[in-house]
Amino acid sequence: MPTRQKRPSKIKQLGISVLLFGFLSYMGLSAVSGNFGTQNRKVMISQIEQLEVKNSNLQIEITNIKKKIALLDPKKLDPDILSERARSMLFMTHVDDRIVILPTQ
Protein backbone atom coordinates (compact mmCIF):
# COMPACT_ATOMS: atom_id res chain seq x y z
CA MET A 1 0.00 0.00 0.00
CA PRO A 2 1.52 3.27 -1.10
CA THR A 3 1.81 6.06 1.42
CA ARG A 4 0.84 9.55 0.60
CA GLN A 5 3.03 12.37 1.99
CA LYS A 6 1.66 15.83 2.59
CA ARG A 7 3.17 18.59 0.59
CA PRO A 8 4.20 21.64 2.62
CA SER A 9 1.69 24.43 2.32
CA LYS A 10 2.86 27.34 0.19
CA ILE A 11 0.91 29.80 2.32
CA LYS A 12 2.68 28.55 5.44
CA GLN A 13 6.10 28.90 3.77
CA LEU A 14 5.21 32.38 2.52
CA GLY A 15 3.96 33.41 5.99
CA ILE A 16 7.16 32.23 7.68
CA SER A 17 9.25 34.04 5.06
CA VAL A 18 7.31 37.27 5.53
CA LEU A 19 7.62 37.03 9.32
CA LEU A 20 11.38 36.43 9.13
CA PHE A 21 11.84 39.27 6.64
CA GLY A 22 9.86 41.61 8.91
CA PHE A 23 11.95 40.62 11.92
CA LEU A 24 15.22 41.17 10.02
CA SER A 25 13.95 44.54 8.77
CA TYR A 26 13.10 45.61 12.31
CA MET A 27 16.52 44.55 13.58
CA GLY A 28 18.26 46.39 10.73
CA LEU A 29 16.25 49.55 11.35
CA SER A 30 17.02 49.54 15.07
CA ALA A 31 20.73 48.94 14.33
CA VAL A 32 20.78 52.13 12.26
CA SER A 33 18.42 54.46 14.08
CA GLY A 34 17.95 52.94 17.54
CA ASN A 35 19.15 54.43 20.84
CA PHE A 36 22.60 52.91 20.35
CA GLY A 37 22.55 52.84 16.54
CA THR A 38 25.01 54.29 14.07
CA GLN A 39 23.17 57.62 13.77
CA ASN A 40 23.18 58.26 17.52
CA ARG A 41 26.83 57.22 17.79
CA LYS A 42 27.92 60.60 16.38
CA VAL A 43 25.79 62.42 18.97
CA MET A 44 27.25 60.33 21.80
CA ILE A 45 30.82 60.96 20.59
CA SER A 46 30.24 64.74 20.54
CA GLN A 47 28.72 64.58 24.04
CA ILE A 48 31.75 62.61 25.26
CA GLU A 49 34.10 65.26 23.84
CA GLN A 50 32.13 68.06 25.52
CA LEU A 51 32.19 66.23 28.86
CA GLU A 52 35.95 65.61 28.56
CA VAL A 53 36.54 69.34 28.02
CA LYS A 54 34.30 70.15 30.99
CA ASN A 55 36.15 67.56 33.08
CA SER A 56 39.55 69.07 32.25
CA ASN A 57 38.29 72.56 33.14
CA LEU A 58 36.95 71.29 36.45
CA GLN A 59 40.25 69.52 37.20
CA ILE A 60 42.11 72.80 36.65
CA GLU A 61 39.66 74.59 38.94
CA ILE A 62 40.05 71.89 41.60
CA THR A 63 43.84 72.21 41.42
CA ASN A 64 43.63 76.00 41.86
CA ILE A 65 41.29 75.67 44.85
CA LYS A 66 43.58 73.07 46.45
CA LYS A 67 46.50 75.50 46.09
CA LYS A 68 44.48 78.25 47.77
CA ILE A 69 43.47 75.90 50.58
CA ALA A 70 47.10 74.87 51.09
CA LEU A 71 48.05 78.54 51.51
CA LEU A 72 45.47 78.92 54.29
CA ASP A 73 46.64 75.88 56.24
CA PRO A 74 47.31 77.00 59.85
CA LYS A 75 50.45 74.87 60.05
CA LYS A 76 51.95 76.58 57.00
CA LEU A 77 50.35 80.00 57.32
CA ASP A 78 52.24 82.71 55.45
CA PRO A 79 52.04 86.03 57.34
CA ASP A 80 52.21 88.07 54.14
CA ILE A 81 49.22 86.32 52.65
CA LEU A 82 47.35 86.58 55.95
CA SER A 83 47.91 90.33 56.24
CA GLU A 84 47.07 90.86 52.57
CA ARG A 85 43.78 88.96 52.88
CA ALA A 86 42.86 90.72 56.13
CA ARG A 87 43.55 94.16 54.69
CA SER A 88 41.58 93.44 51.52
CA MET A 89 38.62 92.13 53.51
CA LEU A 90 38.66 95.07 55.94
CA PHE A 91 39.34 97.64 53.20
CA MET A 92 42.44 98.88 55.00
CA THR A 93 45.93 99.70 53.76
CA HIS A 94 49.37 99.46 55.25
CA VAL A 95 51.63 102.49 55.61
CA ASP A 96 54.03 101.16 52.95
CA ASP A 97 51.32 100.21 50.46
CA ARG A 98 50.94 102.06 47.19
CA ILE A 99 47.43 102.58 45.96
CA VAL A 100 46.79 102.68 42.24
CA ILE A 101 43.37 103.92 41.21
CA LEU A 102 42.25 102.56 37.86
CA PRO A 103 39.60 104.31 35.79
CA THR A 104 36.27 102.49 35.75
CA GLN A 105 35.01 101.25 32.43
Domain spans of the chain? 10-68
Distance CA 92, CA 105 (A): 24
Distance CA 80, CA 85 (A): 9
pTM above 0.75, yes or no: no
Handedness of CA 71, 76, 77, 79 (dihedral sign): negative
What's the pLDDT tens digit per position in 20-70? 999 999 999 988 888 888 888 888 999 999 999 999 999 999 999 998 888
Tally of helices (H runs) and strands (E runs) in the chain? 3, 0
